[in-house]
Amino acid sequence: MTVMETVAGSRTSRESRRRHYLMCPPTYFSVTYAINPWMDPDVPVNHELAGIQWDVLRHTYQSLGHTVDLIEPELDLPDMVFAANGGLVVGGRAYSAKFRYEQRQAESRAYRNWLERAEITAVEPIETNEGEGDFLTLGSMVFAGSGFRTSIAAHIEAADAIDRPVVSLELVDPRFYHLDTCLAVLDDGNGPAPAEIAYYPAAFSRHSQRTLRDLFPNAIICSEYDALVLGLNAVSDGHNVVLPSAAIGFGEQLRARNYNPVPVNLGELLKSGGSVKCCTLELHA
């Protein structure tokens, strides 16, 4: 499905391509420990509302024509809802996760088992990594974050596992503990338009900021306000960008580039430091 739009007299192509996602229902979601600055076990979670918000996200993907598979949630794994952390899947191959914190380590097995049942070859990692939380895929490369949850050594291991070049980026602000909290792939470059990203520069070290400027000089630069509502924790199909509803300014920036922002409210899941992308593992073809 292709959308053609005209802005300021110039014709720009935005192509929305059907995607395949894996999600985990928030059946056992709660904030019972703190492993990032967003989490506070003393702040109550409305579990019913969390389920409703998550279900709206799932139905949003389906309404846009995308396929959503589900993994069965497991008791005592409250963060399993954040499916993006479960691995990196590209071209029928997967690099499995190996979580840094003990509270999440059992998720690695759960997601690896699902991948194997789906007949996706999954490489079991030696190095610490948190899947698509720190690996974001474009057509010609994979961006890889380090600094908080994923080691530099895992970048090398991932490149070998999925046979793709990896560009390392260093994260320096603990509020943006995963790459997918401060950088969004808007167009992966597999359609008629060139690859395009959006990011929040202050989340990165100086040399990583330079890397991003050199690779994507025309990237959308997200404001601090929109970054702090996890606006960049978004999912794009090349035209439709599903993003947190509070990131109003970022939505306006997307419209100016001919994208179609699709806002959703995941306020309950934000209490654990996650939003749209965190809930979504893409099974890249």
Mean pLDDT of 97-112: 97
Mean pLDDT of 266-273: 98
CA dist., res. 235 & res. 187, Å (int)? 10
243 close to 255: Cβ distance less than 8 angstroms: no
Please say if 284 is a catalytic residue: no
Which of these is catalytic: 66, 278, 279, 284?
Answer: 278
Task: Check whether 115 has a pLDDT greater than 80.
Answer: yes
Task: Check whether 191 has a pLDDT greater than 50.
Answer: yes
Which of these is catalytic: 24, 66, 155, 178?
Answer: 178
Task: Check whether 1 has a pLDDT greater than 80.
Answer: no
CA dist., res. 113 & res. 148, Å (int)? 26
Q: What is the pLDDT of residues 252-262, one digit of tens each?
A: 999 999 999 99
CA dist., res. 169 & res. 209, Å (int)? 8
Question: Strand runs (DSSP E) across the chain, as ranges?
Answer: 2-7, 10-15, 20-23, 67-70, 87-90, 93-96, 121-123, 135-137, 142-146, 166-170, 183-187, 196-199, 220-221, 235-236, 240-244, 260-264, 281-284
Reduce the DSSP state of residue 54 to 3 states and report it.
Answer: helix
Task: Check whether 127 has a pLDDT greater than 60.
Answer: yes
Mean pLDDT of 253-282: 98
* Average confidence score pLDDT of the chain: 95
Other beta carbons within 10 angstroms of residue 150's beta carbon come to 30
At residue 86, φ and ψ (nearest 5 deg) are -75, -10
Mean pLDDT of 71-91: 97
**pLDDT for the residue numbered 237:** 98
pLDDT band at 12 (very low <50, low <70, confident <90, very high): low
**pLDDT for the residue numbered 192:** 87
Q: ∠ CA 96-100-103 to the nearest 5 degrees?
A: 100
Strands 183-187 and 196-199: antiparallel
CA dist., res. 33 & res. 249, Å (int)? 32
pTM assigned to the model: 0.94
CA dist., res. 134 & res. 129, Å (int)? 7
Task: Check whether 108 has a pLDDT greater than 80.
Answer: yes
Mean pLDDT of 63-80: 98
Q: What is the pLDDT of residues 211-258, one digit of tens each?
A: 999 999 999 999 999 999 999 999 999 999 999 999 999 999 999 999
Please say if 278 is a catalytic residue: yes
**pLDDT for the residue numbered 13:** 79
**pLDDT for the residue numbered 7:** 37
Say how many residues make up the chain: 285
Mean pLDDT of 176-188: 98
198, two tokens:
């959006």
87 close to 283: Cβ distance less than 8 angstroms: no
CA 144 distance to own-chain centroid: 12
> Hey, what domains does the chain have and what are their CATH numbers?
15-284 (3.75.10.10)
pLDDT band at 119 (very low <50, low <70, confident <90, very high): very high
83, two tokens:
């499916």
Task: Check whether 278 has a pLDDT greater than 90.
Answer: yes
